[in-house]
């Protein structure tokens, strides 16, 4: 693992996520509740999954358009489960459009809109405690769309929410074909996209947080910095 290493360069975007004002201008897809918890952004579902099923899940997008060759970092606080937490990154329309281009169909947080709809993206699932089989054998999954392509997975060290000693510091490196993910500086997964098997290498685009109901989690200290190859 870590055949190629990277270090952080200049800051592109920084957001402490300390209150609701910090996400002014962010774009919600689906029904979610935004609160503050101990000066951190708390996110949870508004719709009851017992009634609405997979339509109770949601996505919250950062409005910034990012370049390629970045390092994304944030602090994660799992508070209540079951549920699943994910980061979308390198998200663009399938023809290179901004994902909020009005020509694209509306998205509502329903997962097929993201993996088999009008956008391309990479999907990092880093807290997969939604279903019994996920809790019994915990993995971090990396998918690439368009299409529901599971490109790599690795063991997930995060405990159940009741045993968590938060925060957990997340670090994602996206540099051309290279993707690396760390939790508390522990290397979790690495993947090199050949640009062929699952389509061209995705570059640039938006990032967004996704949760599957009824997960409750808090977030803080989001930053996006230039990645420099050692």
What is the band of 3 on the pLDDT scale with cuts at 50, 70, 90? confident
pLDDT of residue 108: 97
Query: Containing domain of residue 71, as a range?
Result: 6-229
67 occurs within a structural domain: yes
- Report how many domains make up the chain: 1
What is the band of 2 on the pLDDT scale with cuts at 50, 70, 90? low
58 occurs within a structural domain: yes
1 occurs within a structural domain: no
11 occurs within a structural domain: yes
36 occurs within a structural domain: yes
Scanning the structure block, which residue is given the tokens 């979790």? Answer: 188
17 occurs within a structural domain: yes
Scanning the structure block, which residue is given the tokens 């055949």? Answer: 3
For residues 211 and 57, give the distance between their C-alpha atoms in angstroms, rounded to a whole number. 6
152, two tokens: 């790599």
206 occurs within a structural domain: yes
pLDDT in tens, 131-190: 999 999 999 999 999 999 999 999 999 999 999 999 999 999 999 999 999 999 999 999
Beta strands in the chain (DSSP E): 6-15, 27-29, 32-37, 40-45, 58-61, 70-80, 83-93, 119-129, 139-145, 149-155, 168-175, 178-183, 186-192, 206-212, 216-229
19, 42 Cβ separation under 8 angstroms: no
CATH code for the domain in which residue 144 is found: 2.60.120.200
pLDDT surpassing 70 at residue 32: yes
């Amino acid at each position: 693992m870590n055949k190629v290493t990277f270090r952080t360069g200049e800051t592109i975007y920084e957001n402490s996520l300390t209150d609701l004002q910090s996400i002014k201008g962010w774009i919600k897809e689906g029904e979610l509740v935004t609160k503050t918890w101990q000066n951190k952004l708390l996110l949870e579902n508004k719709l009851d999954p017992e009634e609405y099923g997979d339509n109770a899940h949601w996505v919250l997008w950062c409005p910034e358009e990012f370049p390629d060759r970045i390092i994304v970092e944030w602090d994660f606080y799992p508070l209540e489960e079951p549920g699943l937490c994910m980061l979308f990154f390198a998200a663009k329309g399938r023809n290179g459009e901004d994902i909020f281009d009005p020509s694209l169909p509306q998205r509502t947080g329903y997962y097929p809109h993201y993996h088999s709809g009008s956008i391309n993206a990479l999907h990092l699932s880093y807290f997969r405690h939604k279903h019994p089989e996920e809790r019994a054998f915990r993995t971090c999954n990396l998918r690439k769309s368009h299409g529901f392509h599971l490109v790599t997975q690795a063991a997930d060290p995060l405990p159940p929410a009741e045993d968590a000693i938060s925060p957990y510091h997340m670090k994602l490196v996206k540099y051309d074909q290279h993707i690396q993910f760390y939790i508390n500086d522990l290397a979790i997964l690495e993947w090199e996209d050949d640009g062929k098997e699952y389509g061209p290498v995705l570059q640039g685009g938006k990032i967004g947080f996704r949760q599957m109901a009824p997960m409750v989690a808090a977030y803080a200290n989001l930053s996006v910095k230039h990645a420099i190859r050692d």
